[in-house]
Amino acid sequence: MTGLMPLDDVRVIDLTHTSAGPFCTRVLGDYGADVIKIERPGGDPARQLPPFPNDEPHSERSGTFLFLNTNKRSVVLDLKTDGGRETLLRLVAGADVVVENFKPGTLDRLGIGYDVRREVNPTIVLTSISNFGQDGPYRDYEATDLTLFGMGGAMYAQGDVDHEPLKTAGRITSYHGGYVGALATAVALRATADRGEGEHLDISIYETANHSIDLRLGRLLGFQYSGRVAPRAGRVSQVGTGVFPCSDGFFLMTGGPAYMPRILPMVGRADLLDHPDWSTPAALSAPERIEEFIPIILPWMIERTRAQVRDACQEFGVLGGPLNTIADTFEDPNFTHRNFYQTIDHPETGPLTYPGFHAHFRREEGPMPERRRAPLLGEHTEEVLAELEASSPAPAASPPPRVSSSKQLPLEGLRILDFTVVWAGPYSTMQLADWGAEVIRVESVMHLAPATRGQLARPPRDAVIAQGNSGMGFPDDDAGPRPWNMAASFNCHARNKLSMTVDLTRPEGQDVLDRLLAVSDGVIENNLPPNIEKQGVTWERLSRVNPNLVMVRIPGFGIDGPYRSYRTMGHHMEALAG
């Protein structure tokens, strides 16, 4: 790395089009890569996709294209001609990465496949993103975001139990595949630097959908535990959980036996905690509690606005979030405080507001650079070709012999301390462990984090059955003597990790933490900021113990702003984000 951003010294030749591939290269561009977008004559088909200002189609005004192609330079090449292919290979000779999402076999038919590229640049990383992968019986199948989500994702589990399955809105399956491609590319760059040899990455969107943490990964394991295929849960899956109307819209709340002791006082019914039907996890897990709670929660909700319900949830430690519209998000105080939205000017559309970066780097070098607008078609052709002529790279040498290395996976040798909970954080450290990092889960024996190693330390039988019916239960519906080691919702993402327990409330525990930090490379956590900071897990403390440490914090709303203390889960974030 030579500058502020991690990929400042990386050049990417972008042969992608439409959505999954361009999202991959957009992420690489966000982190500093010089992305040269190669467009066919006539341009990326995404230039023809809506929305358009005033609903008037125009190849330079597509909202889809503008969103997916910031921080890129556009060069027009006709890869069906000898001249176009020759220019492309000259660009590849001076690049680090090529990303493409053509149908499998297309580049080989054009004479510019991986073997040809490797001849001109032995260390090139080629990332191929396709619907079903570069081989297999589905290789040549056509697909859309809808069919890929239906075949590989969680569509079977989405929607109301009495109606047809529903697809998640937008192009989330394609974007997820693109994001996986970006992460894999970054890891491959590390491997290439270590071995002195390039790689060809095969990214199947179908497989990334099947590997999603969102109602898929845990249910794959849950099915093997019980042999049951979990049905759609319906509007309310457990007591206190669901979307409820309030005076100015709707509110999504998460309940269940673990949270009802907080929810009942919030809605003015603390008296029920002394009633046998509401006082134990077993009683709260009974299916009839769901319907019995509806006439309690509805009047309370209807009398309040979304903001008032949100404030009450914050006061009582309840998980929930309003269902915002897109218009609401532009006025959201947390987005405003964190300067999330960016205004980017464009010669064809004028200034527009764009979503911000996926992460904020907090370093002495200063703030992250602002995004550059998406390019006009062929805007940088002359500029890039002039750079190519000026650089005149020497012909590449023959591919070097494979460097012998004790490392079998690209992240071997890295040690990561894992303070994560629930799903999003553990899923991120699972990726690092899969790629070879030594991931050590630092856990407490004093407190069971809900929804991490299961909902309850000792779940009653009804709760075990309910969790099994949700698709993420226990082997043969038996929680066993140590349920915290058995839940599919935990074991699905805990593979390849180590676990240790330490009491950070004691001086001895803090001493253990310091010793761990001194011999580690990174720390990842996604806890409620005030809670984890009370344990001494702060950047100021960690960087003082180990100045070379990388700390990644991924709480629901960021480490600052008016929502920093809000409790939330992924589905609440979907509601809040409109």
Indicate if the pLDDT at residue 13 is higher than 60: yes
Whether residue 5 has pLDDT greater than 50: yes
Tell me phi and psi for residue 127, to 5 degrees. Answer: -105, 115
Q: Could you say which architecture CATH assigns to the domain 415-576?
A: 3-Layer(aba) Sandwich (3.40)
Direct distance between the N- and C-terminal alpha carbons of the chain, in angstroms, rounded to an integer:
36
**pLDDT surpassing 50 at residue 79:** yes
Rounded to whole angstroms, the Cα distance separating 30 from 357 reads: 7
Determine the pLDDT at residue 206.
Answer: 96
The pLDDT value recorded for residue 397 is 47
Q: What is the pLDDT of residues 185-207, one digit of tens each?
A: 999 999 999 889 999 999 999 99
Residue of higher predicted confidence among 464 and 319:
319
Q: Which of 521, 522, 555, 551 is nearest to 539 (CA)?
A: 551
Q: What is the pLDDT of residue 329?
A: 93
Mean pLDDT of 464-471: 74
Distance CA 456, CA 389 (A): 65
Give the CATH H-level superfamily of domain 11-213+341-391.
Crotonobetainyl-coa:carnitine coa-transferase; domain 1 (3.40.50.10540)
DSSP state of 41: T
Instruction: Look at residue 248 in the predicted model and tell me its pLDDT.
Output: 95
pTM (two decimals):
0.92
pLDDT digits (tens, 9 = 90+) for 58-70: 999 999 999 999 9
Residue 392 has pLDDT above 70, yes or no: no
Question: Of 248, 243, 249, whose CA–CA distance to 297 is shortest?
Answer: 243
- Overall average pLDDT of the 120-136 stretch: 97
11-213+341-391 and 242-323 agree in CATH topology:
no
Report the share of the chain in percent with pLDDT over 70. Answer: 96
- For residue 1, what pLDDT is reported? 45
CB burial string 149-171: b at 16+ within 10 A, e below: bbbbbbbbbbeeeeeeeebbeeb
Give the separation between CA 396 and CA 393, rounded to whole angstroms: 8
Residues in the chain: 578
Residue 402 has pLDDT above 60, yes or no: no
516-574 confidence digits (pLDDT tens): 999 999 999 999 999 999 999 999 999 999 999 999 999 999 999 999 988 888 888 88
For 446, the 3-state DSSP assignment is: coil
Q: Which two tokens stand for residue 219?
A: 């249910």
- Residue 90 banded pLDDT, cuts 50, 70, 90: very high
* Residue 348 in this model has a pLDDT that exceeds 60: yes
Asked if the peptide bond before residue 51 counts as cis, ω within 30 degrees of 0, the response is yes
Question: Are 19 and 148 within 8 A, CB to CB?
Answer: no
Q: How far apart are CA 418 and CA 433, in angstroms?
A: 11
Helix (H) or strand (E) holding 109: helix 106-110
| Torsional sign, CA 299, 302, 307, 308 | negative
For the chain, the structural domain boundaries read 11-213+341-391, 242-323, 415-576
Confidence of residue 398 (pLDDT cuts 50, 70, 90): very low
464 pLDDT band, cuts 50/70/90, is confident
- The CATH fold assigned to 242-323 is formyl-coa transferase, domain 3 (3.30.1540)
CA distances (Å), 512 to each of 76, 505, 543, 547, 560, in order?
Answer: 57, 12, 16, 18, 28
Structure-token match 């303070």, residue found: 419
Q: What is the dihedral angle through the alpha carbons of 264, 268, 274, 276, rounded to the nearest 10 degrees?
A: -60
